[in-house]
């Protein structure tokens, strides 16, 4: 009996080869568009660049490209539509920014220092509240870390339904106080606890909160950011939410500063009479924030950046596109919403902590050595310095 062997179809393999060749063509087109953008940018070029990124399955890059296209030409309705579709927020399903901004403006008073801070951060406040989901139930409990002026505190109570709000601050005085602020004819009263967030434990029980806000605090930490994330994890209930904002060290503004041989810090100035925590001690990139949160037992729900403070450095994006570097997540402010998925995973991640050749170990060893070889008082020589 004669046997025949079925011939294997080459159609799947042929389709795969064709798809690969098509992808190569799109990548070649993308490189060419990037080089052209490096010479001069137009809304049309950015649109084509963004379409290519979307075809390649890079929605973040595509969204930023469409965004830049709209910035250059507000009548580019195709780019506007694609940008809105790709950048839809997972937070509040409606936009009440104008109402919130009117409310925040009512907080301006006679204190020019506070007014200056309010004006500087209003765009960040609006983006934060846009990302913050409404209270899941009336009176959902929320902790706001590092709440100094309480602009966000009042807005969260008024617009997001978090009536049970606790705040932390750091001052010389009692361990807890009640503070009151008035806005729109309503007086809001809330508890503020006085403690150093880099020292554990905080004065709260396990799983005490549904939501924790850590806004513009991470960059001020001096010694131990994972201590803060570990405590956030502890005081959050299962599936609790963390909303974190911090300056973006990889922003277009930071890249432009490096191009000019200047510091990339968003805010690196010292404050006369200030404390070590008043300045930015360490700023972070979006990737670093993602990894910090993962080590802290959190999974990312949403991360985005926006220009909360500088909006005149966007020209840098075309130079990044020209050399094939990412243009997404280049705003000067990182905003992210994450969910607690388990306990802290890594207390001292090597990316952020040095554990060998460190000064703390040297000081301990030196202290022990000094005790063995104490210099007699009569032989000690005082050191003087006369300016």
Helix (H) or strand (E) holding 88: none
The model carries a pTM of 0.89
Q: pLDDT-derived band of residue 3, with 50, 70 and 90 as boundaries? A: very low
**Spatial distance between the Cα atoms of 49 and 43, rounded to a whole number of angstroms:** 10
Q: CA torsion 65→71→75→79, rounded to 10°?
A: 20
pLDDT attached to residue 236: 97
State the first-to-last Cα distance of the chain, in angstroms, to the nearest integer.
109
319 by DSSP, 3-state: which? helix
**Spatial distance between the Cα atoms of 235 and 139, rounded to a whole number of angstroms:** 17
pLDDT digits over 114-154, tens only? 999 999 999 999 999 999 999 987 657 999 999 989 999 99
**Spatial distance between the Cα atoms of 318 and 38, rounded to a whole number of angstroms:** 5
246 by DSSP, 3-state: which? strand
Which domains are present in the chain? 18-86 (1.25.40.10), 115-340 (3.40.50.150)
Assess whether pLDDT exceeds 60 at residue 208. yes
Highest mean pLDDT among 23-27, 134-138, 373-377: 23-27
């Amino acid at each position: 009996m004669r046997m025949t062997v079925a011939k294997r179809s080459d159609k799947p393999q042929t389709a795969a080869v064709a798809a690969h060749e098509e992808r190569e063509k799109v990548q070649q087109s993308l490189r060419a568009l990037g080089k052209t953008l490096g010479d001069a940018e137009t809304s049309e070029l950015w649109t084509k660049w963004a379409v290519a990124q979307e075809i390649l399955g890079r929605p973040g890059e595509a969204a930023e490209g469409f965004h830049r296209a709209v910035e250059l030409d507000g009548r580019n309705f195709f780019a506007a539509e694609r940008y809105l579709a790709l950048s839809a927020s997972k937070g509040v399903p409606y936009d009440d920014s104008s109402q919130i901004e009117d409310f925040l403006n009512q907080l301006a008073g006679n204190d020019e220092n506070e007014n200056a801070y309010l004006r500087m951060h209003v765009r960040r406040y609006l983006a934060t509240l846009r990302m913050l989901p409404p209270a899941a139930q009336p009176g959902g409990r929320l902790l706001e870390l590092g709440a100094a002026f309480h602009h966000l505190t009042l807005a969260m109570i008024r617009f997001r339904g978090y009536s049970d709000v606790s705040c932390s601050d750091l001052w010389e005085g009692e361990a807890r106080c009640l503070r009151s602020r008035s806005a729109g004819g309503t007086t809001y009263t809330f508890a503020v606890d006085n403690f150093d967030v880099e020292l554990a434990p905080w004065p709260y029980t396990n799983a005490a909160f549904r939501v924790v806000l850590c806004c513009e605090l991470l960059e001020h930490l001096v010694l131990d950011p994972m201590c803060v994330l570990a405590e956030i994890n502890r005081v959050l209930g299962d599936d609790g939410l963390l909303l974190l904002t911090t300056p973006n060290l990889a922003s277009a503004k930071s890249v432009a500063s490096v191009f000019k041989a200047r510091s990339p810090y968003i805010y690196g100035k010292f404050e006369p009479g200030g404390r070590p925590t008043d300045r930015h001690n360490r700023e972070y990139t979006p990737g670093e924030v993602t990894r910090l949160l993962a080590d802290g037992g959190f999974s990312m729900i949403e991360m985005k950046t926006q220009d909360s403070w500088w909006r005149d450095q966007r020209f840098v994006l075309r130079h990044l596109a020209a050399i094939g570097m990412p243009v997404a997540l280049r705003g000067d402010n990182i905003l992210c919403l994450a969910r607690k998925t388990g306990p802290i995973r890594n207390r001292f991640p090597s990316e952020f902590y040095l554990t060998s050749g460190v000064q703390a170990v040297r000081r301990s060893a030196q202290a022990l050595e000094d005790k063995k070889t104490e210099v007699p008082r009569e032989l000690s020589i005082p050191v003087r310095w006369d300016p």
